[in-house]
Amino acid sequence: MLIPTAVTAFLDHAADEAGLSPATIDAYRRDLDRFSNWCRKHGVEEIETLTPADVRSFAASEHRRGLNPRSVQRRLSGLRRFFRYLRRERVLSGDPSQGVRAPKVRRKLPEVLDIDQVLALLDIPEEDELATRDRAMLELFYASGLRVSELAGLTWDRLDLSEGLVRVLGKGRRERVVPVGRHAVSALERWRGIHAGTAGIDQPRVFTSLKGRPLGVRAIQKRVAYWSQRQGLDQTVHPHQLRHSFASHILESSGDLRAVQELLGHANLTTTQIYTHLDFQHLAKVYDETHPRAKKGK
């Protein structure tokens, strides 16, 4: 079967039977048209003659022309779906994309605040009830390394302020128990006194408006951004930065990657290992700034 004919058959199937959105089908059409054109230029006309080497060469050529690794991955994902369809239709006996990998996506290291920046952010003057709530919120973010979704859904029955612990229901409904530092405990106790009077004892959520409505993720993000500007930081802080800062500062002090994995609720250690890169960056910076043989001009 000619490759353009196979592409047309797949797109017709995707539109009529697979229930894909028009935007997804358009994306497949663009990617498969590029692949079809590449095949024509390189003398590959029939779909049955395709080899993994052809698919690998196509991916490499896309990368060389400036396509980022994530986009190359998307192209390959579309080709795999295309080849799966052709195998179901018995046009192909194997998958020409098997074993073909996109260039590695360079993981963007999370931005972290240094300790002085964190202390400045948390030094919120409790001039009113909202400030008391927000200080408790930010203290808990940094003390326990919660995700913003975890903090938004937190209920009072999951906080044990006398023991300084919080039971967190994280991704995949995995539960973990995380310590809550004394500053966060104190801030939460002050907020709990206000919360009982404004939200009422029947409202289980910890962080609410003064009318008792639970705060959503977006509202929490806005409050963190507001205080980063109000407290004079030179950047707009988002909640995940406090989680990243928590992890980085713990790892920097302890060197215990497994403990950081448990505290963050990561299912895999590889997810946590990004913080070793952050720690190394910090050490490299200190080295460059202090070692006599590393200083410029030495």
The residues that are catalytic are 147, 171, 240, 243, 266, 275
Short-list 68, 57, 43, CA closest to 97: 57
User: Which run of H or of E encompasses 261?
Assistant: helix 257-264
Tokens of 104: 């590695």
Contact 204, 157 (CB under 8 A): yes
Contact 100, 86 (CB under 8 A): no
Tokens 């008792």, located at residue: 212
CA count, 13 A, side-chain hemisphere, 246: 25
Spatial CA neighbour of 260 closest among 116, 144, 175: 144
- Neighbouring C-beta atoms of residue 238, cutoff 10 Å: 16
Structure tokens at 111: 């931005």
For residue 78, give the nearest of 64, 58, 61, 93 by alpha carbon: 58
By the 10 Å C-beta count (0-12 exposed, 13-18 middle, 19+ buried), 78 is classed as buried
Report how far residue 96's alpha carbon sits from residue 44's, in angstroms, rounded to the nearest whole number: 13
Q: Indicate the residue type of 215.
A: L
CA distance 273 to 202: 41
Q: Specify the DSSP class assigned to residue 2.
A: B
> E strands within the chain?
159-160, 165-169, 175-179
Residue type at 133 in one-letter notation: R
